[in-house]
Amino acid sequence: MDERDLYDLALNVIEPQIEHLSGVASAQVTGGRIREIHVTLDRNRLDALQLPSRQCFNAVSNSNLIIPSGI
């Protein structure tokens, strides 16, 4: 596993399991490399579709959710 995969495992699997233990108030993952996704917009394509770049930004922002799934 690389650093990003280890961070994802710690954040999405191990941290929630530790937080569900009796007597544990919270756990926090530090260090590692956080996964990033870069979005590059094609201005000509947006213009052709008459789509404002702000709408793309809002769509990505609204999709960027971290939701606990439980155990």
Dihedral over alpha carbons 28, 63, 60, 6 (to 10 degrees): 40
What the block records as the tokens of 54 is 């702000």
b/e burial code for range 22-52 (CB count within 10 A of at least 16 → b): eeeeeeebeebeeeeeeeeeeeeeeeeeeee
**CA dist., res. 68 & res. 42, Å (int):** 33
pLDDT at position 32 is: 80
Q: List the pLDDT tens digit at each of the 71 positions of the chain.
A: 888 889 889 998 999 999 999 999 999 998 887 777 788 999 999 999 999 999 988 988 888 766 655 54
Structure pTM?
Answer: 0.52
pLDDT at position 36 is: 75
pLDDT at position 71 is: 47
